[in-house]
Every structure is written in C-alpha cells, then in structure tokens.
A and B are shown apart, each in its own frame.
Chain A
Amino acid sequence: MFLPSGSRPFSPSSIQPELVSASRTPSAVENIMQEPPHPAGRDSPDLLPGPRGREPDRAAEGKDRPHTPSQLHLPAAARAQSGSRSEPRLSRRQSAEFDLSSVPISPTRPKSPWGPFDPYNNNEDQGKEYVGFATLPNQVHRKSVKKGFDFTLMVAGESGLGKSTLVNSLFLTDLYKDRKLLNAEERITQTVEITKHTVDIEEKGVKLKLTIVDTPGFGDAVNNTECWKSVADYIDQQFEQYFRDESGLNRKNIQDNRVHCCLYFISPFGHGLRPLDVEFMKALHEKVNIVPILAKADTLTPAEVKKKKFKIREEIEQYGIKIYQFPDCDSDEDDDFKQQDHQLKESIPFAVIGSNTVVEAKGKRVRGRLYPWGIVEVENSAHCDFVKLRNMLVRTHMQDLKDVTRETHYENYRAHCIQNMTRMVVKERNRNKLTRESGTDFPIPVVPAVGDETEKLIREKDEEVRHAEQQRKQTHTSL
C-alpha cells in the first residue's frame, strides 16, 4: 500500500469522527498527538522493544491506518542521522509490511532490540562490520520517552478572543470547565492575573505534561498601561527559579516551568496591530517565543484574511518585533517538505477558529461552528489555519520551541542576571574596600562556571579596586 504523501507529520486532513468523544481514548486522539520530533526520535516507542512476534500485527495495522507508518520517520530524524541515510527514504516509500524473514542476520551481530527500525537492518549492511553506535538516537529516544515530556504554553490577549476555546480545541480537553466569567462591573476593578492549568496527556505510550498559562484580565480595563508587566514578571520568575535550581546542589529533579511558547491573540476587528498589541509583543519578544494568532477568523472573508495577515506582518517588521522564527529547512530536504515549510512561514499570523462542538453537515460530522449561512469547519484548511497551527505546535516544532527557549531566551536572562550580580559584587567591593571586608554576598547561589566575559569583567574590576587602594595608600602616606 502506497503511503499517502501526507504521511509527513503534517498529517492528512481526513477527519476522524472519533474526535468527538471527550474521553481520551488513544483512538480518539491518535490523530492529534504523534510523538514530538525529538532530535533522536524516529520510532514510535510502541514498536521499539517489540519482540518479533508483534511485527506482523503492527504491519497490518499500518495498512488500515495510514497514519501509523508516518511514524517511521520524521524530518528531525533525517537531520539527526549519523549514518545510513538510506533508511528514512526506504521506510517512506516502502509499504508498512516488513517481511523480516527475508533479512539475513549478520553472524557477528546479536539480535537487535530495535526491530525493523534498526539502522543496520537492511540488505546492504549485512556482512559489513559496524561498531553499532548508529542506534544511539534510538537509545536516547527511548530514555526520554520513558521520562516523559513537558511543555508550557501561554495564551495572551484580550478576553473574548477565543483563547480558551482554542486551547480546548488544540488539545481536545476541557480545561476551563469551572471557569466563571466576570461581568463588566466586576471587571472594572480586576487586575491581570496569571493562572495555570496542568494536564497530563498520554498517547501511544508517550507522556506529555502540558501546562497552559492564561492571562485573564489582560487588556480589559479602561486604562491598560503596563498590563503586560505581570506577564513579563511571571516569565522572569520562571527563569529565575530555573536558574536557582540549576545552580543548586541537587539537580536531579529540576522542574522546568519556563514558558516555551506564547500564543498572542490579535483581534480580527481592528485594522492590524493595535497599540496594546505592539507594546505587549515588544515587552516580551526577548523573553519568550511569540506566535501571533489572528483570532476568530470566521469573521473575515478570505480576502480580508489575506489583507490583514499582510498588514500584520508588515507592522511586525516595522516595529521591530521579533516573533518566533521557524528554523530554515536544510537544503537536502525534499521539495514537498520545503514547500510546506514555506507555506507555514507565509501563514503567520495563523488565522484560527476554535470549536469543540461537533456539528453535522451534509452527512458528515465535523468539529465546527454552525451558522445560518453555513458551517465553518475547524479542521478544514480552506476555512482556517487551525490544522497548520496544531501541526506546528505539536507535531513539528514543539521541540524547537523548547530549544529556542532554553538556548536563547533563558541564556539571555541568565547572562543578564550574572552581569547584574557581577555589578552588585563590584559595588559591594568598592563599598567595602575601606573596611577590608572580602565578603561577597551573592543574592543567588554561586554559579561555578562563570562565562568568559564576566570573568574578564571581574578581573578588570579587581584591578581597578587594587589600583584605587594603592592610590589611597599613597595619599595616606603623603599626609
């Protein structure tokens, strides 16, 4: 059976009626959460440790469910390949059925626990001598899958833009069951809060701890000056907490509460970005990955959507806002992937519609919104970018979002923090030079490995202090 070309993580847009059920049975959500693209990952944990006996079953499964074989490879896997490039392409074009009996086992190699996903498991490699470390990605993958993944997503924007509905639609949950909507009188005196909802999702043996950070009250008051401050403070707090944990003695179970991605909801009723949108994004673009979303896109005709997207992109550039950039794909990716990547970049901001209610239209049951003039289907790419957003967030870029948070935003924070610490230390030293105290009271536990630049700074400052001391001694003796 030929795999549909949509076997990439951008899965085919066929709609699974079972998505209706609120219960998280694996069948209901299997279309939503395939394993995140771990740098080493390319196999479903299901299929990894399986004894040979289970192969034919799974292969048969693969026939009925066009999605399963897509787990055989991921673009990330292609990037992380250490050897045997032939493997991913093979699996892409072959049918899901692996006829293992035909593969001769090299006499020098023991039976591999990786089954058909063993990088050495093809005809060409038999008989050759390999060290065998190409299975490293598999091993890493297996360990991390056991540990489980976590992801923190923040949603920000004025109330009434469909944030909660979208979150519920994205992750097929009902996180806001007990929410009480305040009326306008109550909201006049409300300040911006930060609320957290955590939910554990499991799919095909992969565990995800998903945290949604919400910002109720944002932009609701008459005077919204600096209403983003509490959001920025929250993000900094998470960084600080992680920084402390990292610098601490027991680092076994550090909880990563850093915000990995912030979906910012732009109102479809305005003419592009409003002053509040610009200020918010500028205050936060260096702390968190911002993904702009054009909310409630069913208000707009296709022409209006295009125009607004263009205008918003223009304004983002004009104001120098650094939104999350999708990593460029390698030049050796195939055209299909490159095209999809290009389309993704052109879709910013994602024009989304959220819904968790199922409506019936022309005999089909779809998730959507029912209007007297038609039905908007949430998962129809001609209607909105919901599928693109979901794929980007969950299936392809979840790991990259975490990486950028860790490597860029957190590192910026950390460097900034250390610089401040150094400055404080220097101040202390200068203040204490008369009393000859050498106490250095770090507000944060000592970081063993200080960066090169800060070392240099410290050394320079020490020189200065010594120099000043000398001078003082000289003037003292001359008196």
Chain B
Amino acid sequence: LAKMSGGGSTLLGYIGIDTIIEQMRKKTMKAGFDFNIMVVGNSGLGKSTLVNTLFKSQVSRRSAGWARDEKIPKTIEIKAVSHVLEEGGVKMKLTVVDTPGFGDQINNDNCWEPISKYINEQYEKFLKEEVNITRKKRIPDTRVHCCIYFITPTGHSLRSLDIEFMKRLSHSVNIIPVIAKSDTMTIEERLEFKQRVRKELEMGGIEVYPQKEFDEDMEDKSDNDKIREAMPFAVVGSDKEYQVNGKRVLGRKTAWGIVEVENPNHCEFAQLRDFLIRSHLQDLKEVTHNIHYETYRAKRLNENGGLHPITCNDTQESNL
C-alpha cells in the first residue's frame, strides 16, 4: 500500500526504508558496545556502591577482589575494571575507572593531573589506531565517555578542589556531578545546596554534561534544560535490600526509617539512572567522540604541523 510521506516526492509504494532502524538494531546487538565510566571523588563517598547500584551488579573495583577497607593510597591511582553485561540480547562491555586517593591527602595540589593524563592517554590510543593504514574493523574504545564527579554533601557549597577539578577537566571529558550520600540532607537543605552548586558552576564558567552548546535542536534543548535544572542529582547508593510495604527495595536502614534508593521522594537515583543509561548513554558516547576526541585530535595534529600520510607500517608517534 502506498504510504504518503508529507512533503517531498510522493511514494508509489512501500519501499522499506524504515527497516534500516531494525537492521541497525540487529547489527548493534550483535556487535555489542563499549561504555567507559569514570568515578572521581574523595574516598568514602560511595562511588563503588553507586556504580554497583546503577548497573545492578558488582562491577566496581571493590567487587573485583580489592579489600573494602583499603588504606588511602599516597598517590592517586587509576584502576580500571571491565565487565560484560547483557540485557535483552544487547551486550555491553562496561569499564569502570576508579580514582582512589583523589582529594584525600593533606596537600591535594595537582591531584587532577593523573586523571587528566589517563583521559588523554585513551584519546591518544584511539588516535593512533585511527591513523593506522590497516585499521581494525572496530577500534577498541577505551575513551572515558562519562566522568561522574562526587560532591561532598556539606550543605554549604562546592569545595575549592571541586571547582579546580571541574574547571580543568570539563573541556576534555563529559562531567556529571552528583551529590553523594545525600541522605545527609533534608529536602530543603538539598534544594538550597543544589541551587548554590549550580550558581557556583555558572560563576566558574564550568560546563557540565549536557553542555548547552551541544544541544542539536529545540527538542534536545528542552529535554536537556529540564535535566540541567535538576542537576546535580542527589543520590544514595545501596546494595542491600529491605522489605518496605511488601516490596523488596534497595535501601539503607537507619534507626529512624529506611531510605529507599529508587524512591523519587527520597533521592534522585532513579533520575540519574534514567538519564545516564536509558536516555543519554548513546549521546554521551557521541559527544565524547565527536567533540572531546576531535578537540584532542585537532590539538595533536596542530602540534606536529599537520597530518602526514603514513608510508610504512611503523605507526609510531613520529609519523604524526
């Protein structure tokens, strides 16, 4: 039967262009995809627990065999752990990059440097693969797609370290700030704190994801505006389940009640999860690839006076 498209040439019959979506789906499902998430924040803010809660499995560094009560390392370490998750036939290779030691020392000057270095190293790896003559069919993507920054819930405002970190890294990676352990604050305190944080981010010229400048169209803009108004999300993480009103829920049991992780009246975990995984996962990857990576690439190529065609199999840096 003829399907009339509005505007443009009229179709005389059904072609089947729309099946491209289905084809893409099938291919993606077969190939699976990579997602790399980095968590940054002081020790004890619940980073590992939150990641485990987000992906409903033991995917953090802690679960991969490190002891829970590890001593604070003297320097910042970067520890990456990968797991393959499967849901609905879709395979995802999730890599969680942890940064123990960040902000824990007495002197935290330049503690963001190892992190910046790691992020740039991943871009470098990808770039090298890209300029190879014989490229792999699918370049392994270890670039950090999203960096979740954990804000200490002081109730006052951002700390100097928070501002320094986000200022320096918001141009090389997508930063999503979250308020950790937000069951410390009452609802009013939380609202006030969020407002203050947003104001300070604005004053510092810090663009967190989703960045305003990358909104593609009006629909994007309105969706993202809503999210930007709600950020930073105040979250609570937990890997324990309790019985509440006949249901089993993830939560924290205190002497005065049970904090339910997925209850939107208690905390904004559900919002964060939906935002991160259910709606913007692909966008995070795209922004990383199309914008952050391109920025890095342009910078690198400009450094060495432009791109030279590679004439031999030697793909070392000197050829760039």
The residues of A with any CB-CB pair to B shorter than 8 Å are 158-161, 181-185, 187-188, 220-225, 267-271, 274-276, 279, 296, 298-302, 311, 369-377, 382-383
Contact = CB atoms under 8 A, between A and B. Distances in A.
B306 interface: no
Interface in B142-158: 152-158
Nearest to A279: B106
Contact of B44 (A159, A183, A187, A271): A271
18 contacts: A160-B152, A183-B196, A184-B159, A187-B160, A188-B163, A222-B108, A222-B160, A222-B161, A223-B107, A224-B106, A225-B106, A268-B184, A270-B104, A275-B104, A301-B253, A371-B257, A372-B187, A373-B257
Q: Which of B44, B45, B160 has the most CB of A within 10 A?
A: B160
B255 interface: yes
Contacts of B42: 269-270
Contacts of A159: 154, 156
A221 B161 CA distance: 7
Contacts of A158: 154
A368 B106 CA distance: 34
A223 B109 contact: yes
Nearest to B103: A222
A43 B183 CA distance: 45
A271 B105 CA distance: 13
Contact of B256 (A225, A279, A383): A383
A79 to B, nearest CB: 36
A377 B266 CA distance: 19
A317 B199 CA distance: 43
Interface of B: 42-45, 69, 72, 104-109, 111, 152-164, 180-181, 183-184, 186-187, 196, 199-200, 203-204, 252-260, 263, 265-266
Contact of B69 (A183, A222, A267, A271): A271
B280 to A, nearest CB: 27
B254 A301 contact: yes
Contacts, number: 128
Given A160-B152, A372-B266, A223 B104 contact: no
Contacts of A299: 181, 183-184
B105 A184 contact: no
A298 B155 CA distance: 14
Contacts of A302: 254-255
A371 B182 CA distance: 11
Contact of A269 (B72, B152, B266): B152
A370 B184 contact: no
Q: Which of B107, B254, B259 has the most CB of A within 10 A?
A: B254
Given A188-B160, A302-B254, A372-B265, A269 B181 contact: yes
Contacts of B107: 222-225
Nearest to B45: A269
B154 A160 contact: yes
A205 B72 CA distance: 51
Contacts of A188: 160, 163-164
Contacts of B180: 269
B157 A183 contact: yes
